[in-house]
Amino acid sequence: MLETLTDKLGGALRNLRGVGRLTDENMAEALREVRSALLSADVHFRVARDFVNNVKEQCVGQEVVKSVSPGQMVVKIIHDELVQLLGEGGGALIEKKPLRVLMVGLHGSGKTTSSVKLARLLRKNGYQPALVACDVYRPAAIDQLERLAQDEGLPVHTDRKSKDVPRIGADGTRFAKERNANAVIYDTAGRLQIDGDLIEELRELRKRVQPDEVLLVADSALGQEAVNVARTFHESVQLTGIVLTKLDGDARGGAALSMKSITGVPIKFIGTGEKPADFELFHPDRMASRILGMGDVVSLVEKAQENIDEKEAEKMAAKMRKAEFDLEDFLKQLQQMKKLGPLSSIMDMMPGGAGMKVGDKEENQLKRTEAIIQSMTPRERANPQIINGSRRLRVANGSGSQVRDVNTVLKQFGQMRKMMKMMKGKKGKRMMQQMAAQGGGGGGRGMLPGV
Amino acid sequence: MKGLFKKFREGLRRTTPTFHKAFGKVGGVFGAKQLDAASLGELEEALYGADFGVETTEAILDQIQAAFRANRELRGLDAARIGAEVLRSLLGGAEVPLELGSHHPEVIALIGVNGSGKTTTAAKLGHYFREEGRSTLLGACDTFRAAANEQIVTWAQRLDLPLVSSHHGADAAAVAFDAYQAADSRDCDVLILDTAGRLHTKGNLMEELKKIRRVLQKQDEAAPHHRWLVLDGSIGSNSIEQARVFHNAFSLTGLIITKLDGTSRGGALAGIHRELQLPIYFVGLGEGSDDLQPFSVDHYVRAVFGLEDDEVPAGS
């Protein structure tokens, strides 16, 4: 993983310590870093250049606020600018019944999956959606849409004999009407934006079905090509929105910024997983943090929500507050953490964690801790103080470890408990407040607005 | 050989990509003209536009700028030659002849993220090997995506290739096992396994891949003998990250870059090669069954820099 922009800027702006005002000269190196960070996030060359010039204009002449470092200040300006650019004109689909949505894009960008996901979302918002299979080229594309739609209980119009796409589209509109559907989603074949014949077919289809929304489905990991793709599709079928897919990967997603800036077409939805429910409205602030490599705390939180039983978590928190936390709870916590995926991928999502090496060693450590606790009796887990020498030996033998490993686990646990006890009292509250204040002001890496 | 090169270049420059504009200008219209600051800027833009990324672009630009400082009369064409030379050396070792035949059947597993083109590539590869006179069997291990099975069945029928498949939701490793046994008993030379697309960030799905490998190893310890990552050529710098993670989990033996028939240049492959030193065996240059071609560094580099085929690159 790349260094975070904040880290890089930190270095570039070190000379700025004690400087009261940002100027052209003292900004030059920092802005070069910004540009290269944007380029490594796959932002288009020209977009990156214009963006940096914009930021420069905003930065130069600014007083450096005492409490933050110049690096943090520049990052904040950049972040805000990004959020604004990404978010302009965004929002949901237009509210209209019946609503017709045409899905277009390159091969393998995720049109079929996104079509079904969108239908599902629309149904949740009170529509009665129907799907139309207009991909007559890719083998089994119709089967795929049909299968996914069936799983969701959505009506779908297919015509396996015809290759006349505009006609299928028109038939689909009729099909939807007959079934009283008031949202029709047309899934089309993947095509290169430079494939004249197929683009013409899309134009014809657009003419016939008169969609209210034309959504470009684009892989969030697209490179510089994203600009050509978005521009050409926009010119030929007048896009009204973009769906960014595969955001559950770790692409920085600079393509989003490129497409938005060059075409002005807003990003409306994002696909965040393989399940039909993994589809949501686009959040410019999260995307901005992601492009800048500032970590993706929000996603981490969401991932946690997805995998962790809320009631369980609440119980745990209550126990922690009362300092009743025992080894059994500790074990549960370990197991829940494991559900989030390998430690290294969790670290990558944390601001500043990207550079940290979390390898098999740490992973194995976790496993060993788990085994040690599992080798204890319930009574021992509830009352760790009863674990004497002979019990320690038994636990060590049972978990295939050494007595000193058992000691380490018990010691760690003891420290955790001590901390919790400290948090309990008045003194603890004051400490927490102090920590929060420090985290907000001085935590250079974790500058995430809204978190 | 020339026909093949043409195809490569045609695939790589169907319409006005930035590269051809910039290098067309520098190498063509400005061919005899000297470089200046503006055309150097265009060069930089073209290199970034081809997804070469910060490091590769800087490596190429440094050389051109050094040459420019030494010789103010440097022409656009000279710059293109220098660039080609740098890229060629960066890609040294990327073009390795594919050696098949030391195992029977020789198992090739295709892996990659969703939508990179694994199923289509599996079919095209089957076609390619059969044209080479090797008997080939396809194994449909993508039991996850809706209708992935139907897709590869259609391809197999279209190209008349034997296929072992199962039903949706079946255990992918079990299909791999069956496919291996079928290939073995039918005395096939090559077995191509198509797997489900998975994002490299999903730990559990990466585990499934390892399981496929373990199951195959029960029959042949070295199987799958080839573990190829299929990468979408229009993806940017993230393909380096994808390659790295797949390599760590599955120790890749080669790459296939698909969808280079658009306007993208697949420049990220230079970055992947620099990091992982993996050979690039094939590139996808179109939708036809013949459009999967063996990768040639020379063709790629010349197509990227707009050098003519009769143009002898400097230093070769």
- Check whether A149 has a pLDDT greater than 90: yes
Among partner residues B45, B48, B232, which is closest to A108 by beta-carbon distance?
Answer: B232
User: Span A151-166, mean pLDDT?
Assistant: 93
Domain stop point among A87, A109, A136: A87
Q: What span, in angstroms and rounded, lies between the C-alpha atoms of A228 and A232? A: 6
User: Span A314-318, mean pLDDT?
Assistant: 71
- Check whether A122 has a pLDDT greater than 90: yes
DSSP letter (8 states) at residue B295 = -
Least confident of A81-95, B113-127, B211-225: A81-95
Mutate to test the interface with A, among B16, B54, B200, B235 (most CBs of A within 10 A): B235
User: Span A68-94, mean pLDDT?
Assistant: 79
Q: Residue A341 and residue B50: Cβ atoms within 8 Å?
A: no
Residue of A nearest to B267 (CA): A223
A69 with A444: CB under 8 angstroms? yes
- Indicate whether A130 and A278 sit together in one domain: yes
pTM > 0.80: yes or no:
no
Instruction: Give residue for tokens 């007595």.
Output: A403
Whether A64 is in a domain gets the answer: yes
DSSP-assigned beta bridge partners for residue B232: B258
Whether A239 is in a domain gets the answer: yes
Q: Where does the pLDDT of residue B313 fall: very low under 50, low under 70, confident under 90, or very high at 90 and above?
A: very low
DSSP state string for B45-90: HHHHHTT-HHHHHHHHHHHHHHHHHH-TT-BHHHHHHHHHHHHHHH
DSSP-assigned beta bridge partners for residue B193: B109, B139
Structure tokens given for B138: 């396809």
- Max avg pLDDT among A58-62, A78-82, A211-215, B66-70: A211-215
Instruction: Give residue for tokens 């380490």.
Output: A408
Q: Where does the pLDDT of residue A61 fall: very low under 50, low under 70, confident under 90, or very high at 90 and above?
A: confident
Helices (H), B91-202: 118-131, 148-159, 172-185
- Indicate whether A279 and A140 sit together in one domain: yes
Compute CA A157 distance to the chain's CA centroid, rounded to the nearest angstrom. 33
- Indicate whether A265 and A337 sit together in one domain: no
pLDDT at A188 (0 to 100):
95
Q: Where does the pLDDT of residue A446 fall: very low under 50, low under 70, confident under 90, or very high at 90 and above?
A: very low
Secondary element (H or E) of residue B284: strand B280-284
Among partner residues B17, B144, B262, which is closest to A192 by beta-carbon distance?
Answer: B262
Render pLDDT for B63-117 as a digit per residue (tens, 0 to 9).
988 998 898 888 877 888 888 899 999 998 898 888 888 888 999 999 999 999 9
**Residue (of A187, A185, A222) closest to A43 by Cα position:** A222
Domain stop point among A292, A318, A345: A292
CATH code at position A230: 3.40.50.300
Q: Residue B154 and residue A251: Cβ atoms within 8 Å?
A: no
- Check whether B121 has a pLDDT greater than 50: yes
Chain A neighbors of B15, CB-CB under 8 A: 194
| Helix (H/G/I), strand (E/B), else coil: B192 | strand
Q: Residue A222 and residue B113: Cβ atoms within 8 Å?
A: no
- Check whether A204 has a pLDDT greater than 90: yes
Q: What span, in angstroms and rounded, lies between the C-alpha atoms of A207 and A191? A: 18
CATH code at position A30: 1.20.120.140
- Check whether A101 has a pLDDT greater than 50: yes
Residue of B nearest to A32 (CA): B54
Task: Provide the domain limits for residue A333.
Answer: 301-444
Whether A251 is in a domain gets the answer: yes
Q: Where does the pLDDT of residue A249 fall: very low under 50, low under 70, confident under 90, or very high at 90 and above?
A: confident
| Helix (H/G/I), strand (E/B), else coil: B108 | strand
Q: Which residue has the higher pLDDT, A441 or A248?
A: A248
DSSP letter (8 states) at residue B12 = H
Least confident of A305-319, B123-137, B173-187: A305-319
pLDDT at A130 (0 to 100):
96
Structure tokens given for B6: 């043409």
pLDDT at A103 (0 to 100):
96
Structure tokens given for A126: 């009170």
pLDDT at A271 (0 to 100):
92
**Residue (of B218, B115, B197, B122) closest to B162 by Cα position:** B122
Q: Where does the pLDDT of residue A6 fall: very low under 50, low under 70, confident under 90, or very high at 90 and above?
A: low
Q: What span, in angstroms and rounded, lies between the C-alpha atoms of B244 and B238? A: 10
Q: Where does the pLDDT of residue A309 fall: very low under 50, low under 70, confident under 90, or very high at 90 and above?
A: low
- Indicate whether A367 and A397 sit together in one domain: yes
Structure tokens given for A73: 């200040």
Task: Name residue B296's amino acid.
Answer: S
- Indicate whether A19 and A53 sit together in one domain: yes
Q: Where does the pLDDT of residue A73 fall: very low under 50, low under 70, confident under 90, or very high at 90 and above?
A: confident
Whether A38 is in a domain gets the answer: yes
Among partner residues A148, A221, A341, which is closest to B236 by beta-carbon distance?
Answer: A221
Strands A99-105 and A183-188: parallel
How much of chain B, in percent, has pLDDT values that exceed 90? 42
A265 with A278: CB under 8 angstroms? no
pLDDT at B15 (0 to 100):
34
- Max avg pLDDT among A377-386, B179-188, B303-312: B179-188
Among partner residues B50, B115, B200, which is closest to A109 by beta-carbon distance?
Answer: B115
- Indicate whether A79 and A215 sit together in one domain: no
User: Span A382-409, mean pLDDT?
Assistant: 90
Q: Which residue has the higher pLDDT, A214 or A91?
A: A214
Q: Residue A274 and residue B238: Cβ atoms within 8 Å?
A: no
pLDDT at A239 (0 to 100):
95
pLDDT at A441 (0 to 100):
35
Q: Which residues contact B143 (CB under 8 A, 6 or more apart)?
A: B149, B166, B167, B168, B169, B170, B171, B172, B175, B196
3-state secondary structure chain A: CCCCHHHHHHHHCHHHCCCCECCHHHHHHHHHHHHHHHHHCCCCHHHHHHHHHHHHHHHCCCECCCCCCHHHHHHHHHHHHHHHHHHCCCCCCCCCCCEEEEEEECCCCCHHHHHHHHHHHHHHCCCCEEEEEECCCCCCHHHHHHHHHHHHCCCEECCCCCCCHHHHHHHHHHHHHHCCCCEEEEEECCCCCCCHHHHHHHHHHHHHHCCCEEEEEEECCECCHHHHHHHHHHHHHCCCEEEEECCCCCCCCHHHHHHHHHHCCCEEEEECCCCCCCEEECCHHHHHHHHCCCCCHHHHHHHHHHHCCHHHHHHHHHHHHHCCCCHHHHHHHHHHHHHCCCHHHHHHHCCCCCCCCCCHHHHHHHHHHHHHHHCCCHHHHHCHHHCCHHHHHHHHHHCCCCHHHHHHHHHHHHHHHHHHHHHHCHHHHHHHHHHHHHHHHHCCCCCCCCC
- Indicate whether A254 and A140 sit together in one domain: yes
Residue length, chain A?
A: 451
Terminal CA-to-CA distance of chain A, rounded, Å? 23
Domain stop point among A87, A116, A149: A87
- Indicate whether A332 and A388 sit together in one domain: yes
Structure tokens given for B70: 């030494």
User: Span A231-256, mean pLDDT?
Assistant: 91
Q: Where does the pLDDT of residue A302 fall: very low under 50, low under 70, confident under 90, or very high at 90 and above?
A: low
- Check whether A66 has a pLDDT greater than 90: no
Whether A260 is in a domain gets the answer: yes
pLDDT at B46 (0 to 100):
83
What's the ipTM? 0.82
Q: What is the mean pLDDT of chain A?
A: 81
Q: Where does the pLDDT of residue A123 fall: very low under 50, low under 70, confident under 90, or very high at 90 and above?
A: very high
User: Span A373-393, mean pLDDT?
Assistant: 90
Render pLDDT for A349-376 as a digit per residue (tens, 0 to 9).
555 444 455 556 677 788 888 899 999 9
Q: Which residue has the higher pLDDT, A242 or A355?
A: A242
- Max avg pLDDT among A413-417, B167-171, B300-304: B167-171
Q: Give the angle A218-A223-A224 at the CA atoms, nearest 5°.
A: 110
Q: How many domains does chain A have?
A: 3
pLDDT at B133 (0 to 100):
92
- Indicate whether A116 and A156 sit together in one domain: yes
Q: Residue B199 and residue A143: Cβ atoms within 8 Å?
A: no
Whether A105 is in a domain gets the answer: yes
User: Span A413-426, mean pLDDT?
Assistant: 74
- Indicate whether A132 and A265 sit together in one domain: yes
Q: Where does the pLDDT of residue B26 fall: very low under 50, low under 70, confident under 90, or very high at 90 and above?
A: very low
Q: Where does the pLDDT of residue A305 fall: very low under 50, low under 70, confident under 90, or very high at 90 and above?
A: low
- Check whether A113 has a pLDDT greater than 90: yes
- Check whether A416 has a pLDDT greater than 90: no
Q: Residue A246 and residue B115: Cβ atoms within 8 Å?
A: yes
Torsion angles phi and psi, residue A367, rounded to 5: -60, -45
Q: What span, in angstroms and rounded, lies between the C-alpha atoms of B122 and B129? A: 11
Torsion angles phi and psi, residue A164, rounded to 5: -85, 90
- Indicate whether A137 and A283 sit together in one domain: yes
Residue of A nearest to B259 (CA): A107
- Indicate whether A268 and A166 sit together in one domain: yes
Among partner residues B15, B44, B235, which is closest to A221 by beta-carbon distance?
Answer: B235
pLDDT at B2 (0 to 100):
46
- Check whether A435 has a pLDDT greater than 70: no
Q: Which residue has the higher pLDDT, B178 or A12?
A: B178
CATH code at position A332: 1.10.260.30
pLDDT at A397 (0 to 100):
92
pLDDT at A55 (0 to 100):
86
B306: left (phi over 0), alpha (psi -120 to 50) or beta: left
User: Span A154-172, mean pLDDT?
Assistant: 94
Compute CA A442 distance to the chain's CA centroid, rounded to the nearest angstrom. 25
How much of chain A, in percent, has pLDDT values that exceed 90? 40
DSSP letter (8 states) at residue B34 = B
Q: What span, in angstroms and rounded, lies between the C-alpha atoms of B198 and B211? A: 14
Whether A216 is in a domain gets the answer: yes
Whether A144 is in a domain gets the answer: yes
Compute CA A106 distance to the chain's CA centroid, rounded to the nearest angstrom. 22
Q: What span, in angstroms and rounded, lies between the C-alpha atoms of A116 and B252? A: 34
Q: Which residues contact B31 (CB under 8 A, 6 or more apart)?
A: B75, B76, B77
Q: What span, in angstroms and rounded, lies between the C-alpha atoms of B231 and B243? A: 8
Q: What span, in angstroms and rounded, lies between the C-alpha atoms of A230 and B243? A: 26
